[in-house]
Structure 1
Amino acid sequence: MPGGSIYVQPNEKYTGNSPQWWYEKFWREEAPSRRRSRYIKAAVGVVIGVALAIRLDLTGAAPFIGLLLGVLVAGGDWYLDWRAFHATAVWRGAKRGEVITAKLLRRSLGKEGYNVLDGRAIRDQASIDHLVIGPAGVWIVDNESWSPDTEIACYTGRLFFGEKYGSKQAKALVGAAEAFAELLTRETGIPVTISPMLAVHCGDMPKGGILVAEGLTLLKPRLAAKVIKAAEGRVYTDEQIELLTRTAARALQKV
């Protein structure tokens, strides 16, 4: 294939057939329209600022206040557009979800007595992106991303990604949690129960950014550490945390 490689198979995410490619194409093509809209909003902001200044008997400062409000409106509009595009980075393949989540977990949990192991697996059985071990328990955290318009919801107890059932993915992560818990319990003699979590980097999540369905907690990556720290009670001593961490590092395959 011209320009390609016989060793590396092409990834649809980076070709003209993928939703990601079309998303970026439309985003670039709509840039002039977004700029025109921003100019209009800024102009309205200037008018409102001037009118507000006059109403408050600040006529001399009216041009400055109007200009300031116009700049703030334009800056805010630009930020919202940038944020919307930036939120799709993992889905578009521009960033790696596991790298983002690993940084967030370590930054928030490192000083709270939690250890985070990345990329662990039980050979021929299960693999996960992050294993979190700390005072309040043990969690596994995986990463996933869907298109921005994919509604992630729970209906009558079942998980849905758009119009598709999410049971298969939920079952896989719940099964991975059980397999990891069984291994750690067997190797350490410490009873271990693991809670599975899925960090959703792109997709239409419910208000609040957290959804619990079919034994799985789905949430925005920034909320993972918050949920873990909110867990009540102390389950493990410092010695047990150290033993569980050392055992996981030894017994689990690094991926």
Structure 2
Amino acid sequence: MPGGSIYVQQDEKFTGSSPQWYYEKFWREDARNRQRSRIVKAVAGFVAGIALALRFEVALAPLCGLVLAGVVAGADWWLDWRSFRATAVWRGRRRGEVITRRLLRRALGRQGYHVLDGRAIRDQASIDHLVIGPGGVWIVDNESWSPDTEIATYAGRLFFGERYGTKVAKPLVDTAEAFAELLTRETGIPVRITPLLAVHCGSLPRGGAVAAEGVTLLKPRLVAREIKSSRETVLSDEQVELLARTAARELQSQRS
């Protein structure tokens, strides 16, 4: 393959045939339209600023108009930038597990929780994060879909657009059960693991979370909050430490 390696498979996200490539292409081509729209909004803000200054008899009405125009233009730029950045994981420009790891450690690290990253049962299931704390045990995986993919539930079933979500949910539920079985067997502590899926790109319902088929899908910034919402203490400090040590010993690190 020209410009590539016969030993390293190319990621289709960076080729000219992928939805990600076209998304970036159209985003760049639409820059001029966004700039024109921003100018129109800034002018409207300028006029509104002058009108408000005159209405409330504020001195230096033109300056008030310029300030409001700047605020409107800045806010419009920030919203555009934020919407584009929200697709970074889907476009392959950022790694979802790195983002979620930072969020988990920042929110849970000093509250008695252990966060183990990149864990697997040899030749079986693997996940991005294993969280063990007073409220229980969770596995957290990371996924992303195109920005227009609607993630919803109907009659207890999970959907991604018009497609059933069972192929996404079931492997994560099976992985949680496999991890729980291993930890229970090795520690003698009855363990139930709750599977969570951090969604880095895709359209979630209002509130940023949805649950179905045994899995809760939510925005990455809500994962730690979901974990901490379990206020019931089901594991003692000694049990948390034992489970964390056992997981570190028995579960293979994917970085090894």
2:217 aligned counterpart, secondary structure:
strand
1:67 correspondence with 2:66: yes
> 1:35-88: CA deviations, max 9, x gaps?
000000000000000001001112x32011100000000000000000000000
1:91 aligned counterpart, secondary structure:
coil
Aligned AA (1:199): A
Matches within 5 A, 1:124-203: 124-203=123-202
Offset of residue 92 of structure 1: 0.3
Give the aligned partner of residue 245 of structure 1.
244
Q: Report the Cα distance in structure 2 between the residues aligned to 1:211 and 1:200, rounded to whole angstroms.
A: 10
Offset of residue 3 of structure 1: 0.9
Give the aligned partner of residue 96 of structure 2.
97
| Stretch deviating more after TM superposition (2-11 or 194-203) | 2-11
1:31 correspondence with 2:56: no
Give the aligned partner of residue 57 of structure 2.
57
2:211 aligned counterpart, secondary structure:
strand
1:16 aligned counterpart, secondary structure:
coil
TM-score between both structures, scaled by the size of structure 2? 0.98
Offset of residue 232 of structure 1: 2.1
Q: Report the Cα distance in structure 2 between the residues aligned to 1:137 and 1:54, rounded to whole angstroms.
A: 60
Offset of residue 124 of structure 1: 2.1
Give the aligned partner of residue 46 of structure 1.
46
Offset of residue 237 of structure 1: 1.1
Give the aligned partner of residue 217 of structure 1.
216
Structure 1 stretches of 4+ with a deviation exceeding 2 A read none
Give the aligned partner of residue 14 of structure 2.
14
Q: Report the Cα distance in structure 2 between the residues aligned to 1:137 and 1:126, rounded to whole angstroms.
A: 20
Give the aligned partner of residue 114 of structure 1.
113
1:2 correspondence with 2:27: no
Q: Report the Cα distance in structure 1 between the residues aligned to 2:188 and 2:173, rounded to whole angstroms.
A: 22
Offset of residue 238 of structure 1: 1.0
Q: Report the Cα distance in structure 2 between the residues aligned to 1:224 and 1:9, rounded to whole angstroms.
A: 32
Identity of aligned residues (%): 71
Give 5+ residue unaligned stretches, structure 2.
Answer: none
Give 5+ residue unaligned stretches, structure 1.
Answer: none
| Stretch deviating more after TM superposition (36-45 or 1-10) | 1-10
How many residue pairs match? The answer is 254
Q: Report the Cα distance in structure 2 between the residues aligned to 1:220 and 1:79, rounded to whole angstroms.
A: 20
Aligned AA (1:204): S
> 1:104-147: CA deviations, max 9, x gaps?
00000011100000000112221000000000000000000000
Q: Report the Cα distance in structure 2 between the residues aligned to 1:166 and 1:24, rounded to whole angstroms.
A: 27
> 1:219-248: CA deviations, max 9, x gaps?
000000001111021111111111000000
Offset of residue 97 of structure 1: 0.1
Q: Report the Cα distance in structure 2 between the residues aligned to 1:110 and 1:48, rounded to whole angstroms.
A: 47
Q: Report the Cα distance in structure 2 between the residues aligned to 1:232 and 1:179, rounded to whole angstroms.
A: 25
Q: Report the Cα distance in structure 2 between the residues aligned to 1:137 and 1:9, rounded to whole angstroms.
A: 39
1:92 aligned counterpart, secondary structure:
coil
Aligned AA (1:19): P
TM-score between both structures, scaled by the size of structure 1? 0.99
